[in-house]
A and B are shown apart, each in its own frame.
Chain A
Amino acid sequence: MKLTAPLIYGFIASILLVSAPHTEHLPIWVSTICVALLGWRGYLAYSGTPLPSRWLLLLITIAGVAAIGIGFHSLFGREVGVTLLILLASLKLLELKAVRDATVLIYLSCFIIITNFFYSQSIPTALFMLLSLVVILATWVNLQTGSLALKPRLRIAGLLLLQAIPLSLILFVLFPRIQGPLWGMPQDAYAKSGLSDTMSPGSMSKLSLSDEVAFRATFSGTAPMRAQMYWRGPVLWDFDGTTWKRGQNATLQKPMLSDVGTPVDYTVTLEPHNKLWLFALDMPSNISVAADMAPDFQLLSRTPVNARLRYNARSQLSYRANLSEPPQQMKRALDLPRGYNPKALQLAAEWRAKNVSDEAIANTALRYFNQNNFSYTLEPPLLGTHSVDDFLFTTKQGFCEHYASSFVFLMRAAGVPARVVTGYQGGEYNELGGYYILRQADAHAWTEVWLKDRGWVRVDPTAAISPARIQSGLSAALPDNAALPFMARNPPQWMRELRLNWDALANQWNQWVLGYNPERQFALLTRLGMEEITWQKMVMNMAAGMSLLVGIFTLILLRRLVVRQSDPVQAAWLKVCKKLSKAGLVRAPHEGPEDFTVRVIVARPQLAEPMKDIATRYTNLRYAGADDESALRAFKDAAKSFKL
């Protein structure tokens, strides 16, 4: 087996392909060096120059590893590991001498494929890796077969992959799963944008510039109205003049819902955000995963959500929430920073004097927003120290966080317990997949006020200024030229459909491939009719399935061989050849009957008579077109009775 130039090119292409996605997070100098090394190797193969000396390679290797060690301050960990792998793979190609080295490189390339999934597990990545695998396999076929043109080589590689599909399907479905993500390491931090547990002017509007998916939700019955779709996230209590924070709940009292109506059930597939909170419709009553409900109805997971999480939840759309709150919590819901926003305090005091009930005060505030030329915009002017005053009396332009913040401030100043709730509102319905997509752009802030006998009541001041935001989404509420993300604007219908179809596909991929966890596996196997599922049973089924498939493949291959010999003339001739081969007279595949006969007779003169007879009959039947039953029978008999 020779390591020819085309083989080397195949290796270069394989390494380039599998490392290409890594360039995004590799240090630029490593990528440059690797490309240079590969280019150098390509040139050597092209010009037929001998490989560089062992000492030079050793020097480059040591220098490269040392530079990586210094650059990363470590030689352990995922990033460093991947970087080292790619550098060493490129170097290995420069000392490719034996077939063994080539085989090692094939395995190495396959291993680098796996490392790509640490960074991305999307469908495009998977498809790209599949393509890389075809190239690697084609290179491998080249290594095994020697001279074969590119096209048949690619065909064999494709065929190999096709045969692997059913095998990997069995492995995928039946291999016992462990809890946790399919790929990735437990400490993987997804540095994605998302809701945080603080809110200051500008934080929401910044978020609405991203069309990244926050989560997807499927309703098991009819979906509620859009205006009721408030997906509850962090509840914010503490205000320091600019920023709202969650603070510490001053009670351990369990949240209570009373006077509930018909509940809605739904499933949420939450993208990892590395925080604790889970999203559920106002107000959640049940959830299928290990989570706690804080006294302010906020769902908190026990571990940060660092992998895609799927859960079922149940919510009550009409409710009375926490009809009684302990005094400490009430105190928190009225607390205001001292020395800020004097004008707003004064306005609230006026309202308090005019109205008796808390409810009337809240309505007065909403009316105030509605009738005083407030406007809803993504790009509000900057606010000073007295942010609420500035907003209420000077700028009068704001996004949801401005309205929520100033509304709660006014309520508290007027002595009405209130708090800010952040989360997502609305969402986009994907008809194809039958689910709602909630993007970061759907992030929203609203408020809750506590009214006697009614508990916490949701008030959305944004709705008072811009009902369209709540009824039909962000794009309807903002002028067209706003710097909105693509999907939150109104793209052409076909583009929207394309994006939604793609999202539906990605959702299926998430649900069934990446999210195929023990529960899913259990559900699927039960649906397939398996009872009392244990891992032993799964392994046994797996082994049985694999053996069955391998058996089928073998049968197909054997069948092909049998078809080749289905010609009775050829079969009888091969029988004679087999008998002779046992005596050490092996017919070469390219040896014709006459040549072989001559050789046999030279080696075994006593066989001259029967051998000549058989060869003549054979050539007559096979090549001279003697299509005659009796001749065939005579030839078969002669072949049968042929003895050494």
Chain B
Amino acid sequence: MNPSLQNVITQTEQVILGKPRQIRLALTCLLARGHLLIEDLPGVGKTTLAHVLAKTLGLQFQRIQFTSDMLPADILGVSVYQRESGDFKFHAGPIFAQMILADEVNRATPKTQSALLEAMEEQQVTSEGETRPLPAPFFVIATQNPTNQIGTFPLPESQLDRFLMRIELGYPDAQAERGLLSGVDRRDIVAQLTPQMTTAELMALQQQARQVFVSPALLDYVQAILRHTRESARYVHGLSPRAGLSLLAAARAWALLDGRNAVIPEDIQAVLPGVASHRLQSVQDTQASDGDKLARELIEAVAIP
């Protein structure tokens, strides 16, 4: 594996204890130029993960705390009248950064949510008739409380689709939690982290991830998965072609993280829960947290051709 990538992983794992899989998935998402949605209870380390990644990768970091009275301008920025010069000057909002942590995105109103999600999709912001490009790389980690909590506006399916992956962090295991409790304050550690990679290196890796080889046999497998979701009566909708593309992109990045330059079925299976869980809905029960279970069932239902 790329040595600096290895360093990134090592350093992140030192801060976020006992979550190697989630860290890898987050990095996968980043390398595949997708955005990440983390859904979990408050206090399990969502913010810390974003913070650590930004620091370790040497990215400009902005955190936006979403609240129910937030307006789009609070994210995108606003033009303010300058008394000295007599004209308007644009004050860029917090979205103009390389890594955004959109905290508790489902607490904002749909209007504000869609302002963020549009910026994510377009990689640019249009405000007051002027289009301003966002910095590159541009990576959004949105966190979301479980939707059945009070005062939330759940993201509609079409907007969930904008996120390449959705993961859950979950509680740490006993050993990791002991380390967390007995160790130094995480905030101090984060403050001392040093970048392990330059932006240019990161963008080169993103480019490399795109060129990971995918064989016809593997495409057969991906198509078998897509076909199964469409033919089975278990799901409300099958996976879309875009979901198929996302699956491939994520699997390529995962393979790169694994130090391989070809995708194997295990890569698909590793990223499938992250990629598919927020895109699949069971016919029987509509609980969102069931997505992971559904994806695992999906893996087991489809034979590798």
Q: Chain A residues in contact with chain B, CB under 8 A?
A: 6, 147-149, 151-152, 564, 567, 570, 588-595, 619-620, 622-625
- CB-contacts of B246-305 with A (<8 A): 260-266, 269, 299-305
Q: Which of B36-44, B59-67, B85-93, B227-235 contacts A (4 or more CB under 8 A)?
A: B227-235
Which residues of A have CB within 8 Å of B304? 589-592
28 residue pairs A–B, Cβ–Cβ below 8 Å? A147-B232, A147-B233, A147-B234, A148-B231, A148-B232, A149-B232, A152-B231, A564-B305, A570-B217, A588-B300, A589-B302, A589-B303, A589-B304, A590-B269, A590-B302, A590-B303, A590-B304, A592-B264, A593-B265, A619-B262, A620-B262, A622-B215, A623-B217, A623-B218, A623-B264, A624-B215, A624-B262, A625-B262
Beta-carbon contact of A594 and B303 below 8 Å: no
Q: How many angstroms from the CA of A141 to the CA of B211 in the assembled complex?
A: 44
Contact in complex: A593, B233 (CB < 8 Å): no
Tell me if B213 counts as interface (CB < 8 A to partner A). yes
Q: Which residues does chain A contribute within 8 Å of B300, judged by CB atoms?
A: 588, 590
> With a CB–CB cut-off of 8 A, which chain B residues contact A147?
232-234
Q: Using Cβ atoms and an 8 Å threshold, which residues of chain A touch B265? A: 592-593, 623
Interface contact A6-B233, CB-CB below 8 Å: yes
Which among B232, B261, B266, B301 is the interface contact of A624 at CB below 8 angstroms? B261
Encode contact with A along B47-74: 1 for CB under 8 Å, 0 otherwise: 0000000000000000000000000000
Residue of A nearest to B303 (CB): A589
B147, chain A: closest CB distance, angstroms: 25
* Segment 230-245 of B: residues with Cβ below 8 Å from A: 230-234
- A525 CB to nearest chain B CB (Å): 45
Q: Is the CB of A592 within 8 A of B266?
A: yes
Bound Cα distance from A623 to B217, whole angstroms: 7
Q: How far is the CA of A443 from the CA of B16 in the complex (A)?
A: 100
From A593, which residue of chain B is reached at the shortest CB distance?
B264
By a CB distance below 8 angstroms, the chain A residues around B262 are 619-620, 623-625
Residues of B within 8 A of A564 (CB): 305
Q: How far is the CA of A138 from the CA of B91 in the complex (A)?
A: 64
Name the residue of chain B whose CB is nearest to the CB of A594.
B266
Interfacial chain B residues near A589, Cβ < 8 Å? 302-304
* B213–A625 touching, CB < 8 Å: yes
**Interchain CA distance A594-B301 in the complex, whole Å:** 19
Given contacts A6-B233, A594-B264, 19 further A-B contacts (CB under 8 A): A147-B233, A149-B231, A149-B232, A149-B233, A152-B231, A567-B217, A589-B303, A590-B269, A590-B301, A590-B303, A592-B265, A594-B266, A595-B266, A595-B269, A620-B262, A623-B218, A624-B213, A624-B261, A624-B262
Highest count of chain A CB atoms <10 Å: which of B261, B265, B301: B265
Chain A nearest CB from B88 CB (Å) reads 56
Give bound CA distance, A148 to B230, whole Å: 10
Complex Cα distance A39/B305, Å? 44
Write the nearest CB–CB distance from A469 to chain B, whole angstroms.
Answer: 65
B217–A592 touching, CB < 8 Å: no
Kindly provide the distance from the CB of B36 to the nearest chain A CB, expressed in whole angstroms.
Answer: 25
Binding site for A on B (CB under 8 A): 213, 215, 217-218, 230-234, 260-266, 269, 299-305
**What 5 A-B pairs have minimum CB-CB distances, sorted nearest first?**
A589-B303, A624-B262, A592-B265, A592-B266, A147-B233
Minimum Cβ distance to chain B for residue A510 (Å): 43
Which among B213, B215, B233, B299 is the interface contact of A590 at CB below 8 angstroms? B299
The CA of A259 and the CA of B264, in the complex, are separated in Å by 97
The reply to whether B269 and A592 form a contact with Cβ atoms under 8 Å apart is: yes
| Smallest Cβ-Cβ distance to A564: which chain B residue | B305
> How far, in whole Å, are A20 and B266 apart by their CA atoms in the complex?
53
Q: Point out the residues of chain B lying under 8 angstroms from A590, CB to CB.
A: 269, 299-304
B72 to chain A minimum Cβ distance, whole angstroms, is 41
The minimal Cβ–Cβ distance linking A158 to chain B, given in whole angstroms, is 16
The distance in angstroms between the C-alpha atoms of A593 and B261, with both chains bound, is 16
Question: Within 8 Å CB of B213, what residues of A?
Answer: 623-625
Most B Cβ at <10 Å: residue of A147, A149, A590, A623: A623
CA distance A6 to B233 in the complex (A): 10
Residues of A close to B217: CB separation below 8 A = 567, 570, 622-623
Q: Which residues of A have CB within 8 Å of B264?
A: 592-594, 619, 623
In the complex, residue of chain A having the shortest beta-carbon distance to the beta carbon of B255? A623
Asked whether A623 lies within 8 Å of B234 as measured between CB atoms, the reply is no
B260: which A residues are within 8 A, CB to CB? 624
B231 adjacent to A623 (CB under 8 Å): no
Residues of B within 8 Å of A148, CB to CB, are 231-233
Q: List the B side residues contacting A620 at CB < 8 Å.
A: 262
- Nearest to B298 among chain A residues (CB) is A590
Closest beta carbon of chain B to A564's beta carbon, Å: 8
Q: Which residues of A contact B263 (CB under 8 A)?
A: 623
User: A588 to B231, alpha carbons, bound, how many Å?
Assistant: 22
Q: How far is the CB of A218 from chain B (nearest CB, A)?
A: 52
Q: Shortest distance in angstroms between B226's beta carbon and chain A's nearest beta carbon?
A: 14
* Closest beta carbon of chain A to B261's beta carbon, Å: 7
Q: Which residues of A contact B302 (CB under 8 A)?
A: 589-590
Q: In the complex, which residues of chain B have a beta carbon less than 8 angstroms from the beta carbon of A149?
A: 230-233
Minimal beta-carbon separation of A578 from chain B (angstroms): 15
A564-B305 Cα distance, complex, nearest whole Å: 9
A623 neighbours in B (Cβ, 8 Å): 213, 215, 217-218, 262-265
Question: How far in angstroms is the closest Cβ of chain A from B156?
Answer: 25
Q: Output the nearest chain B residue to A591 by Cβ-Cβ distance.
A: B304
Tell me the smallest distance from the CB of B247 to a CB of chain A, in Å: 15
B157 to chain A, nearest CB (A): 20
A569 and chain B: residue at smallest CB distance: B217
> What is the minimal beta-carbon distance from B253 to any residue of chain A, in angstroms?
16
- Which residue on chain A has the smallest CB distance to residue B266? A592
Give A620 to B261 CA distance when docked, in angstroms.
10
A557 to chain B, nearest CB (A): 17
Collect the chain A residues with CB atoms within 8 Å of residue B232's CB. 147-149
User: In the bound complex, what is the Cα–Cα distance between A338 and B233 (angstroms)?
Assistant: 85
Task: Give Cα A613 to B233, complex, Å.
Answer: 41
Could you tell me the distance between the alpha carbons of A593 and B217 in the complex, rounded to whole angstroms? 13
Taking CB atoms, residues of chain A closer than 8 Å to B269 are 590, 592, 595
Complex Cα gap A583–B264 (Å):
26
CA distance A385 to B162 in the complex (A): 97
Q: How far is the CA of A148 from the CA of B304 in the complex (A)?
A: 19
A26 CB to nearest B CB, Å: 34
Q: In angstroms, how far is the closest chain B Cβ from the Cβ of A1?
A: 14
B233 to chain A: which residues have CB within 8 Å?
6, 147-149
Q: State in angstroms the CA–CA spacing of A592 and B264 once bound together.
A: 8
Return A516 CB to nearest CB of chain B, in Å.
41
A593 to B262, CA, bound (A): 14
Nearest opposing residue in chain A for B213, CB measure? A625
A148 to B234, CA, bound (A): 8
Contact residues in B for A567 (Cβ distance below 8 Å): 217
Name the A residues within 8 Å of B303 (CB-CB). 589-590
**Distance A620 CA – B213 CA, assembled complex (angstroms):** 11
CA distance A6 to B260 in the complex (A): 45
Complex Cα–Cα for A564 and B232 (A): 23
In the bound complex, what is the Cα–Cα distance between A496 and B55 (angstroms)? Answer: 87
How far apart are the CA atoms of A564 and B213 in the complex, in Å? Answer: 23
Expressed in whole angstroms, the Cα–Cα distance for A186 and B233 within the complex equals 49
Nearest residue (CB) in A for B269 is A592
Taking CB atoms, residues of chain B closer than 8 Å to A6 are: 233
Task: State A278–B269 Cα separation when bound (angstroms).
Answer: 78
Residue of B with least CB distance to A587: B304
A489→B22 CA distance, assembly (Å): 84
Minimum Cβ distance to chain A for residue B223 (Å): 15
Which residues from B are CB-within-8-Å of A595?
266, 269
Return A546 CB to nearest CB of chain B, in Å.
33
Q: Closest chain B residue to A626 by CB distance?
A: B262
Q: Closest B-chain residue to A618, C-beta based?
A: B264
> Shortest distance in angstroms between B92's beta carbon and chain A's nearest beta carbon?
45
Bound CA–CA A251/B260 (angstroms): 109
